[in-house]
Chain A
Amino acid sequence: QVQLQESGPGLVKPSQTLSLTCTVSGGSISSGDYYWSWIRQHPGKGLEWIGYIYYSGSTYYNPSLKSRVTMSVDTSKHQFSLKLSSVTAADTAVYYCARDLPAAGTDVWGQGTTVTVSS
């Protein structure tokens, strides 16, 4: 059974870069059947899809965040990563890594990690 686990700093200063890593266990990140995604949820709010990376390294970023987002994948470590630059308080959220089955939704989620942007 595939499991995902986010890791990274829980506190980031304004204007700095948020960096998170997701480790995939119990399954292969190199499966061509899935996209590997990041989704966030602002406190008490709904869900915002940030983007995905494919095992080959191809990406799609939400246009609302595209100028600040970079995703990468390291198949040898079974990990994929998110970088969000120039963060502000508006980027404070729970960040989830997830597995997307194309056209079918997000079937596996990490537990989520809270990132607070504050000086």
Chain B
Amino acid sequence: DIQMTQSPSSVSASIGDRVTITCRASQGISSWLAWYQQKPGKAPKLLIYAASSLQSGVPSRFSGSGSGTDFTLTINSLQPEDFATYYCQQANSFPYTFGQGTKLEIK
């Protein structure tokens, strides 16, 4: 299985800040990476697919980049509704695997 490692595990930030979360795959996955946002008690929500494509309806302050083994999710100008846990997922090969999550908290 492909192992996905996210960093940091948690991050504190303020409204209006820019935050970057990284995800590293244990082997190359081309651009087959997705990012999700999950709020407590809710299902995850797809934000980014194919490493950098914004899912329909997702605000443009979210962006993704990377290919191969190293990827980033950037959130510009943090809004109150952005405080949540974020997961990366490789969609290159089965079984799909997720990172362990990054909890974004209000400073």
Contacts and interface: CB of A to CB of B under 8 A. Distances in A.
Interface of A: 46-49, 51-52, 60, 62-64, 96, 100-107, 109-112
Interface string B28-65: 00001010100000111110011001010000000000
Instruction: Kindly state the interface size class of chain B when it binds its partner.
Output: 20 to 34
A64 to B, nearest CB: 8
Interface SS of B by simple majority: loop
Interface of B: 1, 32, 34, 36, 42-46, 49-50, 53, 55, 87, 89, 91-92, 94-101
A106 B50 contact: no
A96 B95 contact: no
Contact of B49 (A46, A64, A104, A111): A104
Q: Which of A64, A102, A104, A107 has the most CB of B within 10 A?
A: A104
A4 to B, nearest CB: 9
